[in-house]
């Protein structure tokens, strides 16, 4: 009987009989190797997948981070752009509001100024209306009480008083005029009203003037009906009966004067001269000239008083300076002796 051939597997060192057992072992080994190789490959693939997945996760994380950064930068940019846009809009709105507020303030100031001017105008108008009421009352009263005479109002804006009353006698001949001035707005009487009325009378050749005033002169007594100025102007308060009495008296005096006037026997030139001398214009002109002389005399007296006081002040200052100088010299001599002559401060004999 022949001996069976034994074979040792070089890989696993396992001993096999020669023949099919070896082949079967080889196949089995190949399968195990294949399984190991497959498992190793699977493990390697799985490791590669894990590494790849880790890498992908890292990439994904970096991508997400980058996306978040981009999103944040984009949001910040968008926010900044929105803020810039809002700021520009706010600045524009503020400027518009500032302009609107300034315009509104200007309108309010203008409206307030107009209101103040309107109030002032209304107050002034009210005062003017009150003055016009007294003027119209005087004019209407004169027309009603003296229908044969003419009352002529001074036009608004024209220099002068309120109205002129032209008087007539029974024969409807003009015998004279009365100039009326009304003052009812001022609380304190001013003598310059009288001077102005006298000047207006002189300019219009009117011999009599009546100043109706709500305020009274300083020399107006409680029981006085009126006070006179320049022997041709009466100052009184608004009183219908008093005005009627005064106008009636003046009219009667002028009627008597006109009746007693006799024609002057002389040349035409002498008659005109005589009429001028008798006229109110000549009388008031002389009065106005005399008042100017008095005014100049008063100014001279003021200047004289000023200069006398000024000279007296200078003389006193000079005397004080002279005495101070003497005191200085005396003090000097008492300290250092008689160095200065005694007649140093004596006046020259030839003075």
Q: What is the dihedral of CA 28, 32, 37, 39, to 10 degrees?
A: 150
Least confident of 202-206, 309-313, 330-334: 330-334
Number of C-alpha atoms within 13 angstroms, CB side, residue 46?
6
| Residue count of the chain | 351
CA 144 to chain centre: 49
What distance in Å separates the CA atoms of residue 191 and residue 216, rounded to the nearest whole number?
10
223 secondary structure, DSSP code: T
* Sequential DSSP letters for 203-222: HHT--EEEEEESS--TT--T
| Contact assessment for residue 207 and residue 283, using Cβ atoms and an 8 Å cutoff | yes
* Sequential DSSP letters for 251-318: HHHHHHHHHH-----S-HHHHHHHHHHHSHHHHHHHHHHHHHHHHHHHHHHHHHHHHHHHHHHHHHHH
Q: Determine how many CB atoms are found less than 10 A away from the CB of residue 324.
A: 9
Max mean pLDDT among 11-15, 92-96, 110-114, 201-205 falls in 201-205
Q: Could you tell me the maximum CA-CA distance found in the chain, to the nearest angstrom?
A: 219
Q: To the nearest whole number, what is the mean pLDDT of the chain?
A: 76
Interval 95-113: pLDDT, tens = 777 787 777 677 767 767 7
SS3 328: helix
Assessment of whether the complete model's pTM goes beyond 0.85 = no
β-strand partners of 261: none
Work out the angle between the directed axes of helices 280-336 and 192-204 (0-180°, nearest 10).
140
Give the whole-number percent of the chain exceeding pLDDT 90: 9
CA 75 to chain centre: 55
Q: How confident is the model at residue 34 (pLDDT cuts 50, 70, 90)?
A: confident
13 secondary structure, DSSP code: -
């Amino acid at each position: 009987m022949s001996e069976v051939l034994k074979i040792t597997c070089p890989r696993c060192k396992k001993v096999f009989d020669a023949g099919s057992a070896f082949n079967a072992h080889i196949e089995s080994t190949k399968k195990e190797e294949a399984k190991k190789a497959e498992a190793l490959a699977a493990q390697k693939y799985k490791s590669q997948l894990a590494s790849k997945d880790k890498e992908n996760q890292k990439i994904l994380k970096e991508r997400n981070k980058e996306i978040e950064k981009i999103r944040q930068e984009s949001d910040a940019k968008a926010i900044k752009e929105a803020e810039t846009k809002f700021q520009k809009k706010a600045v524009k709105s503020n400027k518009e509001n500032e302009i609107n507020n300034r315009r509104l303030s200007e309108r309010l100031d203008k409206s307030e100024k107009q209101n103040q001017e309107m109030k002032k105008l209304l107050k002034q108008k009210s005062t003017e209306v009150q003055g016009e009421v007294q003027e119209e009352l005087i004019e209407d009263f004169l027309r009603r009480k003296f229908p044969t005479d003419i009352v002529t109002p001074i036009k608004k804006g024209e220099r002068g008083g309120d109205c002129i009353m032209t008087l007539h006698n029974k024969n409807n001949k003009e015998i004279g005029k009365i100039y009326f001035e009304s003052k009812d707005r001022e609380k304190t009487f001013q003598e310059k009203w009288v001077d102005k009325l006298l000047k207006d009378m002189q300019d219009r050749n009117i011999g009599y003037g009546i100043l109706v005033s709500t305020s009274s002169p300083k020399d107006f007594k409680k029981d006085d009906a009126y006070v006179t100025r320049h022997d041709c102007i009466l100052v009184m308060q608004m009183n219908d009966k008093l005005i009627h009495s005064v106008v009636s008296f003046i009219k009667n005096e002028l009627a008597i004067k006109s009746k007693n006037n006799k024609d002057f026997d002389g040349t035409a030139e002498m008659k005109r001269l005589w009429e001028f001398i008798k006229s109110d214009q000549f009388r008031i002109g002389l009065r106005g000239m005399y008042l100017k002389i008095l005014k100049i005399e008063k100014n001279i007296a003021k200047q004289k008083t000023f200069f006398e006081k000024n000279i007296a002040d200078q003389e006193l200052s000079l005397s004080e300076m002279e005495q101070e100088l003497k005191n200085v010299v005396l003090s000097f001599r008492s300290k250092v002796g008689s160095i200065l002559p005694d007649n140093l401060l004596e006046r020259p004999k030839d003075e």
